[in-house]
Amino acid sequence: MKVLKALGIVLVLMALAYVGVMLPGGRTLFGVVFPYLALAIFIIFFIAKVVGWAKSPVPFRIPTTSGQANSLPWIKQNKLDCPSTTAGVIGRMVLEIFAFRSLFKNTRAEIHEGPKLAYGSSKFLWLFGIMFHYSFLLIVLRHLRLFTDPIPAFVHALEFGDGFLQVGAPTLYITDLVFIGALTFLFLRRLVLPAIRYISLPADYFPLFLILGIGITGVLMRYFVRVDVVSIKMLTHGLATFQPVISENVSGLFFVHLFLVASLLAYFPFSKLMHLGGVFLSPTRNLANNSRMVRHINPWNDPSIKPHSYASYEDEFREFMVDAGLPVDKELPPAPAEEVAPAEGGASAESE
């Protein structure tokens, strides 16, 4: 149901663009207004979200230590997984952001008869996650050719590397294959594994379908459906230079592709996709584990919260403490006179 809801929304978006451009003014709306609007929403709300996070302080230093800490000089510290310096933290973050290190460590636990637990390495999520993210990045960078003139050298280099296999005409990009493949895997994983399906929300399927839609329309345009690349480049280059021109030769399929991209941009800051920004700010990863060595400040620390004082502790237990021979700060008050010489005391002394 959740899957269908998400798929339905993406299909509606696609239909909206396909039909919309046929209406009067539709081409300007979908070719110029929506892309600009989406980009503005993306930039403004992305920044707002990051600023919103940054506004909340990090009151305590709470890194997850994933290895031996810096302690005695002869004990080998795990400087990457339990960094005690800024350099170590940078190393940890770089590996986290560029190599998905935590995910790389992923294990699988299984319960067998007994009960007996077995653990195994599980790198599929890491592998397909990293394939998806890197191919997405390369594809976005390749698209710079549509927005720049002259095209930067690195974009040419990317295209050359990407088309390295030289299969077919136009040359097959490896990233296109990897991108669609990895996305499909990630989607099927959500659908097939019962536990993952159980935790998934429409908000997990929706971006998958949205990005898959972008990928499929892109692949269609490049390999299967003839589109007028010159007109498209005129439009995209015009958008980049704020002088948009829409030729009648730009096909409806392109507008569908563009509208899905715009939807993704506008949806981004309000969704889980913000993990792109959040990964940099996670206090369990981006802090050095040196909390006993260096003082950390909590801006809202309340100095009026004091421990139950020793004085009141002693007041409550002084008698017992004196009896037990424990040192006290304040001696017991002298006992009242009538208790010093009790009548029975004298009597018992007499009887002896």
Partner 1 sequence: MTGAVPKKDWMDTPAVFKPGNYCYPGKESMAAYHGKNLPGKFGPARVWDVESDDWKLVDNWQQILLEGMKERLEKFRSFKIFMDCCVRCGACADKCHFFLGTGDPKNMPVLRAELLRSVYRNDFTTAGKILGSLAGGREMTFEVLKEWFMYFYQCTECRRCSVFCPYGIDTAEITMMGRELLHLVGVNTNWILEPAANSNRTGNHLGLQPHTFKENAEFLLDDIEEVTGIRLNSLTFNRKGAEILFVIPSADVFADPGIFTFMGYLLLFDHIGLDYTISTYSSEGGNFGLFTNNELMKKLNGKMYAEAKRLGVKWILGGECGHMWRVIHQYMDTMNGPADFLEVPKSPITGTVFENAASTKMVHISEFTADLIKHDKLKLDKSRNDHRIVTFHDSCNPARAMGLLDEPRYILENVCNNFHDMPENTIREQTFCCGSGTGLNTGEIMDLRMRAGLPRANAVKYVEEKYGVNMLACVCAIDRATLLALMQYWNPNVEVCGVSELVGNALIMDGEKERDSGLRFEPLAANEGETDV
In the region spanning residues 162 to 191, those forming contacts with partner 1, defined by CB under 8 A, are none
Site string for partner 1, 13-52 (x = CB under 8 A): ------------------------------------x--x
Q: Provide the minimum distance between the beta carbon of 181 and partner 1 in the complex, in angstroms, as a whole number.
A: 18
Which residue's CB is nearer to partner 1, number 70 or number 236?
A: 70
Tokens of residue 95, six digits: 């590996």
Distance between CA atoms of 339 and 335, rounded to whole angstroms? Answer: 7
Secondary structure (3-state) at 201: coil
The one segment of 168-176, 243-251, 269-277, 341-349 that binds partner 1 by CB under 8 A: 269-277
Which token pair is 36? 């600009």
Q: Please report how close the Cβ of residue 12 comes to partner 1 at its closest, in angstroms.
A: 13
* Total length of the chain: 352
Site string for partner 1, 71-90 (x = CB under 8 A): xx-xxx-x--xx-x------
Provide, rounded to whole angstroms, the least separation between the CB of residue 94 and partner 1: 14
Q: Which of 102, 231 has the CB closer to partner 1?
A: 102
CA trace torsion 187, 191, 194, 196 (10° rounding): 30
Interaction residues for partner 1, span 190-219 (CB under 8 A): 193-204
- Minimum CB–partner distance for residue 263 and partner 1 (Å): 13
Is residue 327 a contact residue for partner 1 (CB under 8 A)?
Answer: yes
Decide if 155 contacts 141 (C-beta within 8 A): yes
C-alpha 66/C-alpha 80 separation (Å) is 9
Confirm if 106 and 125 have CB atoms less than 8 A apart: yes
Q: In this structure, what token pair is assigned to residue 104? A: 């790389």
* H or E element at residue 107: strand 107-112
For residue 297, the tally of other CB atoms under 10 A from its CB is 9
Binding residues for partner 1 restricted to 103-142, rule: CB under 8 A? 103, 105-109, 111, 114-117, 119, 125, 129
CB of 301 to partner 1, least distance (A): 6
Residue 305 binds to partner 1 (criterion: CB under 8 A): yes
3-state secondary structure 180-222: HHHHHHHHHHHHHCHHHHHHCCHHHHHHHHHHHHHHHHHHHHH
Q: Which is nearer to partner 1, 32 or 321 (CB)?
A: 321
